[in-house]
Amino acid sequence: MTYPNTEETLNLLRALVSIPSPSGNTNEVITYVENFLKELKVETKRNRKGGLIATLPGKDQQNHRMLTAHVDTLGAIVKEIKPSGRLKLDLIGGFNFNSIEGEYCEIETSSGKKFTGTILMHQTSVHVYKDAGKAERNQDNMEVRLDEKVNNANDVRALGIEVGDFISFDPRVQILSSGFIKSRHLDDKASVAILLQLIKQVKKEAIELPYTTHFLISNNEEIGYGGNSNIPPETVEYLAVDMGAMGDGQSTDEYTVSICVKDASGPYHYELRKRLTQLAIDNQIGYKLDIYPYYGSDASAAIRSGNDIIHGLIGPGIDSSHAFERTHKDSIGNTAKLLYHYVQSEMIL
């Protein structure tokens, strides 16, 4: 078995993080995924909110499985055009202004024109402002400096930029020979890349899956409701593949697959968690069990919206999540391996 082909997964990951897709503006990246699946001759359909569902028919067509990963990311939107010609931002998703200070960004107008800029604190220049270091970074003093000759709001509007235009952050992706991957939006495009490679592998090996298996590429997870709908009624197990959270007291690392036992929504399904752990043990896959304190997933969102499903959450470990993210190819490989065995395993019925 030549699986997982991590190099191919990383190339796909690079392509995915390079397509801007803040929650609310995901059509381009969903189209990319759709074309990838079309080439594999996998049946897909879009839901009304813009997500994509791919289905691989299995032996048992009465009991289904669903796996999901989200392709939407953190981002921002133009809140206000300041008299100075700078843009005020409103954030999309949960993160702090500190984590985007100094970041290059792209503004997409409603007609599709694209402009670049830099996200800065208003009082950045130390030669002019005394409090440059200490000032709190917040919506009032953080702004976008456009790379255009603009001196006032009218100049900006003349470019076609308006309130409501989407702002995406430069991912600055680097895939290093040490095996580390540094990039924004590894949450959760690393998992999307893993799921797409898994589908490709199932097709390549012509594996007959034990159960009909759906793959939902969700597009509203960062705002809480990407995977809480369009779950076929036959679905028994629903597994979210999303990042494992790292930090003080966390067992998740950048090398293993993180199996979540509990997050802010409560414990995940006990039997499914034990099954996933056993699969990791049986197949010599490096794993960690962990609790994510300030975290919710598309699987918990699905439960909350009233779906009677067995829910689980696993994923690669991501350092400094929702900020300067990094993982290692080992974590991607271990997550891929666990999923490969999971989709071929017996269900908890």
Please give the positions annotated as active site: 221
User: In the numeric block, which tokens belong to residue 136?
Assistant: 């709190």
Nearer to Zn ion, 87 or 259 (CB): 259
Is residue 72 near Zn ion by the rule CB under 5 A? Answer: no
Residue with tokens 């990246």: 29
Q: How far apart are CA 223 and CA 226, in angstroms?
A: 8
Q: How far apart are CA 231 and CA 171, in angstroms?
A: 31
What CA–CA distance (Å, rounded) separates 33 from 45?
11
CA distances from 271 to 237, 251, 310, 335 (A): 11, 21, 9, 19
Diameter of the chain measured on Cα atoms: 69
| Size of residue set near Zn ion by CB under 5 A | 3
Nearer to Zn ion, 64 or 328 (CB): 328
Binding part of the chain for Zn ion, among 114-122, 180-188, 208-216, 324-332 by CB under 5 A, reads 180-188
DSSP element (H, E) containing 199: helix 186-204
- Minimum separation from the CB atom of position 322 to Zn ion (A): 8
* Pairing outcome for strands 174-175 and 60-70: unpaired
Question: Please, which residue, 188 or 263, has the CB nearer to Zn ion?
Answer: 188
Least Å distance, CB 315 to Zn ion, is 8
* Least Cβ distance, residue 319 to Zn ion (angstroms): 14
Q: Which stretch binds Zn ion (CB under 5 A): 90-98, 124-132, 237-245, 288-296?
A: 237-245
Reduced to 3 states, what is the DSSP secondary structure of residue 158? helix
Least distance to Zn ion, CB of residue 182, Å: 17
Q: How far is the CB of 242 from Zn ion (least distance, A)?
A: 4
- Considering the rule CB under 5 A, would residue 143 count as an interface residue with Zn ion? no
How many Å from the N-terminal Cα to the C-terminal Cα in the chain?
Answer: 29
* Closest listed residue to residue 318, CA positions, set 132, 73, 24: 73
CB 66 within 8 A of CB 239: yes
Of residues 165 and 188, the one with the C-beta less far from Zn ion: 188
Answer whether 109's CB lies under 8 Å from 141's CB: no
Exactly one of 103, 188, 298, 325 binds Zn ion (CB under 5 A); that residue is: 188
Does 263 help bind Zn ion (rule: CB under 5 A)?
A: no
242 part of the interface to Zn ion, by CB under 5 A: yes
DSSP conformational letter for 319:
B
Q: Does 187 help bind Zn ion (rule: CB under 5 A)?
A: yes
Tokens 């929650």 correspond to what residue? Answer: 23
Q: Under 8 Å CB-to-CB from 154, ≥6 apart: which residues? A: none
Q: Cα dihedral sign for 27, 311, 240, 345?
A: negative
CB 72 to Zn ion: min, Å: 9
Q: Least Å distance between CB 247 and Zn ion?
A: 15
User: Which CB sits closer to Zn ion, 318 or 343?
Assistant: 318
Q: What is the rounded distance in angstroms from the CA atom of residue 150 to the CA atom of residue 43?
A: 47
Q: Which is nearer to Zn ion, 212 or 297 (CB)?
A: 297
Nearer to Zn ion, 288 or 322 (CB): 322
Please report, as ranges, the residues that interact with Zn ion according to CB under 5 A.
187-188, 242
